[in-house]
Amino acid sequence: MTVSNPSGWLVHKFGGSSLADASCFRRVAAILKSHPAEKLAVVLSACKGVTDSLFALNAEPQLPDSEISAALLSLRDRHVTLATELLNSTAAEEFIFDFDQDCTVIRKHLREVDLVVGYGEIWSTRLFFKYLTTSYSLSGECYWLDAREVIVVESGPLGPIVQWNESRKNIASLVTKNLSGILVITGFIASTIKGIPATLGRDGSDFSASIFGSLLEANEINIWTDVDGILSADPRIVPNAQVIDSLSYNEAMELAYFGAKVIHPQTMAPAIHREIPIWIRNTFAPDRGGTLICARPKSALAVKGISTIENIALVNIEGAGMIGVPGTAHRLFGVLREAGISVVLISQGSSEHSICFAVPLSQVDLALQVARVAFKRELTEGQIQAIDADRDLSILAVVGDGMAGIPGIAAKLFNALSAASVNVRAIAQGASERNISVVVPAKSATRALRAVHASFYLSAHTLSVGIIGPGTVGRVLIDQIASQSSRLRRDFKLDLRVRGLLSSKRMLLSEDGVSFNSWKEDFLSSELVPDLKSFVNYVGADYLPNRVIIDCTASSEVAKNYAHWLAAGIHIITPNKKANSAPMASYRELQIARRAGSSHYLYEATVGAGLPIVQTLRDLRETGDEITSIEGIFSGTLAYLFNIYDGSKNFSDIVLDAKQRGYTEPDPRDDLSGIDVARKLVILGREMGLVLELADVNVESLVPSGLNEGSIDEFFIRLPNYDADMRTRFENARAHGKVLRYVGRLTAEGSATVGIVELEATHSFSNIALTDNVVRFATRRYSNNPMIVQGPGAGPEVTAGGIFADLLRLSAYLGARL
């Protein structure tokens, strides 16, 4: 980071927002005092809004004299206020006298735009110069310099062109080599070779700073603005965009071209020639680090920033007649240039069968017109089949010098876009590998930017989470997420943002995520009317790249919506068994919808709560093993009943005690019917590839005939009438040295049974903890000694844990680095 012949000058430029009022002027002076140097050059813009007001004086048609007078009076009032607050009375009077003289000149030369609009910088610098020399103590002499006496420009097709030889002669005559102190310099303005006032265009004060940095051979240039530096993305789109610590000149120009607003590419040209470092800093937070732009930055980031250009159209020219024909691209871009059309991006396949290029949406009709005229003969003769355009597009650009030579950057970009269900229309990459650009639908641009930004760990990888059913399991899940949220953000940059909660009675929505400290109170006090459609629309907003609905209910009505959500690119995690055990046609619709929406559907907790049963089955099949049979105790409630039942108590008393302990569903018949176990077998059977319906499962219900209907109280009153039957079965098993267990069995041939079986006392199912689930996988590999998965298979903690594990698994699928 060397500077050619450094002279000791430090250049500071302050924009209009840094000079909005008197307190801002004082802040600027304080910043200069905190950055002491023998040679300070301070380039100022006009006060905030003044240049716009001066431009308005030149409106077409010309304003009435009364409006011109009112506008000048408004400008005078504002500057008089500033002078009164900042200067002593004598200095203020001098400033106001000069201001009034300037207004007289403006009235006489109102149509000379460059003269008129340049007065904003003259006023701000005169005011600041007088403030430093009369009211503020800074070491060293202070000088006021009118940039029109130094910078000489000529008009060019790309804007004003600095005449460096003349400008260097001017600065040498006005600023001697041994001069030290503070130069207060007008930004934005210059003169032509004939001495006529000129301006440097919008963002011209930044350009002024860079020009003076070069003319003074400065050590560094500081651009002071109202942001902390150059950000890795537009903070209005990516709220957690990061300040980039350092950039090369080329990286900064690429980001500026693709929409970064902090600095204009032209601004840097004079500094680049002399390799003068440029700092972007925040006037309102001067202690923050800022962004360094230099020739050889030191940064560990391969990707520095991601930016977008909106309102883009893509023109495509396609035809076999272009293959191998030289000059086609020359003809095309020649006529576009002659028509004044800006081509933003070009993409061509190696087959030369087609060329596509991006233009501003406002120019697409003209581009189509001139291209069709230029290739009229080829279109008529069929050598070119079509010249058409796609509208409403955006360009997303990934920028970073460090991408060169690093494998996998493009893969990460396209994986992130795929995970966010963003379709890519065109791709362009330069040989420098500094930039990869893609054209995407405009409606997906925000989602794309957020997804790609997170994939390169420039911001937290955010999942928009909506939880349906924050009851027994959902409440515990929220607490588990809360307990790990800080660690996940700190160690893995993963932000699990719970943006919505929904029950049958209430709904809570929060853009920044519900407060984990007060969500219960906030949920209970929410006055939002619960509405499933509006809830999903909010959580699954299209601009969010990663959206997941967690269904903690057992509702078939909620489950009916899964296919629609999956097709819309919304991921689903659930312990709800209804969707996966629904009729086979509905189950297949889920798979089709999942593929169509490039979404993920995770349901480990449907079978064994937190036990890895579904994942184990998938791993066995995907690694080529063949499942012979699956059997197990799939109900923690029924496991408890048969572990406790030893004949000393009536079976009905044990069921009642289990309900009172909270081991059963509110209506124990939901457990005793065996349907819940049957649904789990259907889920596992379909994971095995079987075409299995719930009706195909042979279920032995423990609800006696005639007790299916009626109230729960009536059920418990009549259940003792059937205790003798259960005691008889128990005694018969004990007489043969066996025990009773409620087991589900599934074979590769599609046989599925659920019911009471007699097992040897040494069987693995005979010796389990009270509420354990246990599943036994018999496979080609595990034939002599089947694989067993065992552990608690019910309860809020383990069920929520299974859901949370699926949520982290989904985060990894979507690119989080866990």
Q: Show which residues are catalytic.
A: 680
Angstrom distance (rounded) from CA 732 to CA 416: 62
What Cα–Cα distance (Å) separates residue 85 from each residue in 30, 49, 81, 288?
16, 19, 6, 28
- Residue 714's Cβ-side half-sphere holds a number of Cα atoms within 13 Å equal to 7
Task: Report the C-alpha gap between 149 and 173 in whole angstroms.
Answer: 10
How do 291-294 and 246-248 pair as beta strands?
parallel
Of the candidates 627, 619, 605, 755, the one whose C-alpha atom is nearest the C-alpha of residue 680 is 605
The token pair at 28 is 């600027």
CB 155 within 8 A of CB 15: no
Q: CA-to-CA distance for 725 and 794, rounded, in angstroms?
A: 28
Using H for helix, E for strand and C for coil, what is the string for 115-150? HHHCHHHHHHHHHHHHHHHHCCCCCCCEEEECHHHC
Return d(Cα 726, Cα 103) in angstroms, integer: 105
Burial 468-494 (b: 16+ CB within 10 A, else e): bbbeebbbbbbebbbeebeebeeebbb
Query: How many beta carbons lie within 10 A of that of residue 723, not counting itself?
Result: 15
**Cα atoms in the Cβ-side hemisphere of radius 13 Å centred on 413:** 24
Q: Which of 446, 453, 466 is nearest to 544 (CA)?
A: 446
Q: Which residues contact 471 (CB under 8 A, 6 or more apart)?
A: 503, 552
List 189's β-bridge partners, or say none: 199
Supply the DSSP symbol for 530: P
Tokens 């009471």 correspond to what residue? 756
Pairing state of beta strands 386-399 and 305-318? antiparallel
Give strand ranges (E) for 380-475: 386-399, 426-429, 435-441, 461-468
For residue 61, say if its preceding peptide bond is cis, omega within 30 degrees of 0: yes
Other Cβ atoms less than 10 A from the Cβ of 186: the count is: 29
Neighbours of 62 (CB within 10 A): 12
Asked if 599 contacts 540 with a C-beta cutoff of 8 angstroms, the reply is no
Q: Which residues contact 266 (CB under 8 A, 6 or more apart)?
A: 158, 159, 201, 203, 207
How many residues make up the chain in this entry? 818
What totals of helices (H) and strands (E) does the chain contain, helices first? 30, 30
Nearest-angstrom CA–CA distance, 613 and 208: 68
Question: Which run of H or of E encompasses 733?
Answer: helix 723-735
